[in-house]
Amino acid sequence: MADNNTKQTVLGWEEWVALPNLEIPGLIAKIDTGARTSALHAYAIEPFGGDKNPHVRFKVHPIPDRPEIEILCSAKVVDRREVTSSNGESEWRYVIETPVRIGDKTWPIEVSLTNRDNMQYRMLLGRRAIGDNMIVDPNKSYQQAKLSYDLYRKVKKTKSSLRTLRIGLLTREPNSYTSQRIVQAAEERGHVCEVINTTRCYMNINSMAPEVHYDGRVLPQYDAVIPRIGASVTSYGLAVVRQFDLMGSFCINKANAIGASRDKLYAHQILAQHQIDMPVTAFAHSPHDTKELIEIVGGAPLIVKLMEGTQGKGVVLGETRKAAESVIGAFRGLRANFLVQEFIKEAAGVDVRCLVIGGKVVAAMKRQAEEGEFRANVHQGGDVQPTKLSKEERAIAVKAAKVIGLGVAGVDILRSDNGPKVLEINSSPGFQGIERASGQNIASKLIEYVENNVKTRVRRKPRRPSRKNIKETFEGLGGET
């Protein structure tokens, strides 16, 4: 036990205890030297993390007779053992190690988890948890500082960074650089990140209790979900994200925002509505409007872009009016959706990628096109370099992510003679180029963002369904945070 103080600490037979790593601010424990080990009364006990990284998630009712107050906890499993309780019943229990605080002393103890909600004391502190410099006076109670259940009113606002989070990474590319970095960063920060193949999820959307099924089992409720939805599975992917959102997981990007960023026309409309500068852009459906379209964007040279294109593949430069007309004619012949855009010549094959996480630009890079190429995409052979953003560039990137509603976004900007112009907003930005160019650990910043946003662990379930309680339950299912 880590206690250098030689003065003896006296514990009564009942004491207020805090379990800081489980984010339990206070409960009353029975100090029982008759018992060898300690126990915490937990329910909804659910293992995760597999054999390699065993964890357990559980809920605690810290206050007897107040079942509506529940705290969601998680911890690393240090053992699984058979424990015989005082009434002679034996049961296999998960054992976790967690610091306990009584008065001004904090030390780590082992606690087994058991579901015995009818017990008066939420916790039992056995003799192995009682330190060398502590004695128990069985005739007295509360020899150490008394806490209060009022502490649970404040808990709602605190962050969740101490707890091991169960994070789901929704992707079809588990081996990509970005996926691997996210899993690695989550583990380095003490969490468990499970990779879920988006297209293998299936759902019962009529269910009163939303669920996601996978490989014949129901997926757990993740604390957070990191969606990386490829363009080819947007609509199905969004339905999956929405389902996780309904289940109460914190989704770093919500389905509607991902959908808005994917739809170039809609995204442009939102940006325009919020006075965010973009290259002049025109959309049309009818083949009769080609000349008009060219006029709107100021004539040739101009850019024609396929709506569904990514990685620069559907982006064509019409250098002369004639060339522009024939590209537009060709796209129309293919019945493709496209837009026509002013060509920002002075950008000179350079675009700037700003990575926005939680309303801040956390890194930026400059992409330079190859000689003779105007598209700066890395996939088109572009080179990445660090770049310093102006205040204006920072502000426009943050605002663009905000109006689209993305918590995490890659905002692409062109540097024009009239200031920065937003080109595109990506809801699943890759980390490889930007980590290399900026030297920043973006994956870790993403996980930090998750930690700061995971829903409160205190849920107040309604006792009976009044109007107010219905609202609370709804919030408990995971609204905006």
* Interacting residue ranges for ligand ADP, rule: CB under 6 A: 279, 303, 305, 309-315, 341-344, 347, 351, 374-377, 412, 414, 423-424
Question: CA–CA separation, 79 vs 76, rounded Å?
Answer: 9
CB of 325 to ligand ADP, least distance (A): 18
Q: How far apart are CA 278 and CA 394, in angstroms?
A: 15
Q: What is d(CA 93, CA 80) in angstroms, rounded to the nearest whole number?
A: 6
Tell me whether residue 480 is exposed, middle or buried, using C-beta atoms within 10 angstroms of its C-beta: 0 to 12, 13 to 18, 19 or more: exposed
Angle at 479 between CA 473 and CA 481, to 5 degrees: 120
Q: CB 267 → ligand ADP: shortest distance, Å?
A: 11
Q: Which helix (H) or strand (E) holds 95?
A: strand 90-102
> What is the nearest approach in angstroms of ligand ADP to the Cβ of residue 281?
8
CB 451 within 8 A of CB 161: yes
Name the one residue in this structure whose structure tokens are 């002679």: 88
* Residue nearest ligand ADP by beta-carbon distance: 376
Q: Write the CA distances from 193 to 49, 165, 203, integer angstroms.
A: 8, 8, 21
Quick one: which H or E segment has residue 36?
A: none
The least CB distance from residue 353 to ligand ADP, in Å, is 9
Eight-state DSSP code of residue 419? E
**Sheet containing 360-368: which strands, arranged edge to edge?**
383-386, 360-368, 350-357, 408-416, 419-426
Query: For residues 196 and 198, what is the distance between their CA atoms, to the nearest angstrom?
Result: 6
Query: At 466, is the secondary structure helix, strand, or coil?
Result: coil
Nearer to ligand ADP among residue 147 and residue 303 (C-beta): 303
Taking the complex as a whole, the smallest distance from the CB of residue 317 to ligand ADP amounts, in Å, to 8
Q: Is 68 exposed, middle or buried (0-12, 13-18, 19+ CB in 10 A)?
A: middle
Q: Which residue has the tokens 């920072």?
A: 394
- Minimum gap (Å) between residue 258 Cβ and ligand ADP: 15
Cβ neighbours around 181 below 10 Å, total: 19
Q: How far apart are the C-alpha atoms of 278 and 25, rounded to whole Å? A: 50
Residue closest to 368 by CA, chosen among 318, 310, 414, 436: 414
Nearest-approach distance from CB 430 to ligand ADP, in angstroms: 12
Residues contacting 313, CB < 8 A, separation 6+: 306, 379
- Provide, rounded to whole angstroms, the least separation between the CB of residue 351 and ligand ADP: 4
The least distance separating ligand ADP from the CB of residue 409, rounded to whole angstroms, comes to: 14
**CA atoms 11, 152, 358, 254: torsion sign:** positive
**Smallest gap, in angstroms, from Cβ of residue 324 to ligand ADP?**
13
CA distance 110 to 96: 6
Give the list of residues 6+ apart from residue 9 with CB closer than 8 angstroms, or none.
102, 103, 105, 131, 133, 134, 135, 144
User: CB of 262: closest distance to ligand ADP in angstroms?
Assistant: 10
- Cα–Cα distance measured from residue 199 to residue 118, given in angstroms and rounded to the nearest whole number: 43
CB-CB contact of 70 with 161 (8 Å): no
Shortest spacing between CB 254 and ligand ADP, in angstroms: 21
